Amino acid sequence: MGFFDFLFKKKKKRILPERMNVKTTISTGPDYYTREYVNLLLSRPTMQDFWDRSFDSPRYTDNYQTPEGYKLRELLLLVWWGNTKTGRKSSISIPKYFFSDYNIDAEKLTKEFKNKGLLLDDGERTKPSEEGKQIAGKYHALWEIHSVKNFPVNLDVDFPRWDKQKFELNILISELAYYNEHARFCRNIINYFQNISGYNNHIDISNEVNYYINNLNSDVAKINDLTEKIQILENK
């Protein structure tokens, strides 16, 4: 074979190995998304189920008629001005919630309180007059109602029958009822999964079980804590 014959000789066709058809199987585990499971999920309680009003309840209704002629939400501003012993700086920015939550022109109303002698400017500070102190003291419960967190209070609904200790007790009792019901919900879900044969061999189901066990443990801790707090308040 010559040199050029070597360079330009026809190459043998490369024979590729025969492709093997490999069948793969995916272990999906049992189908637990049944009607029974959906019904269990739909039975999940919410805190609002144990209250007598919804989260979107208004902060006021203006139904309560005061002898001073002011609305409760307006008198809340007078209470705010008198909430410190030495008054507040006259230049202080009045909290935005008076406008956003109570729809009050706080600057204009403050001037009206001053014109009527309910507020006085003392140097760089503004504080209630003696008459203003009496009125602010009469309606100080408005500040307690306004300061409640995680419950939709209403000035006009709650003020006439306001009892701070009783209110706090009722809230704790409602929370206890919720966590007891939520614990029952978690137990039902856990029992549902654990009744599936070999459930712990499937990671997705095991994760669900662990999730609800953690929730249940958290509920039990809160139930114990709330029970103690309720007992303390009831014994006062």
pLDDT surpasses 60 at 22: no
- The rounded distance, in Å, linking the Cα atoms of 147 and 143 is 6
pLDDT surpasses 60 at 26: no
Two structure tokens written together for 191? 């029992």
Q: Please, what is the average pLDDT of the chain? A: 87
pLDDT in tens, 192-222: 999 888 777 888 888 999 999 999 999 999 9
What pLDDT is stored for residue 205 in this prediction? 87
pLDDT in tens, 121-159: 989 999 999 999 999 999 999 999 999 998 999 999 999
What pLDDT is stored for residue 55 in this prediction? 85
Read off the pLDDT band of 29 (50, 70, 90). Answer: low
Distances (CA, A) of 153 to 101, 131, 140, 158, 170: 12, 28, 15, 7, 13
pTM: 0.76
pLDDT surpasses 80 at 30: no
Which secondary-structure segment (H or E) carries 127? strand 125-128
- The rounded distance, in Å, linking the Cα atoms of 52 and 177 is 13
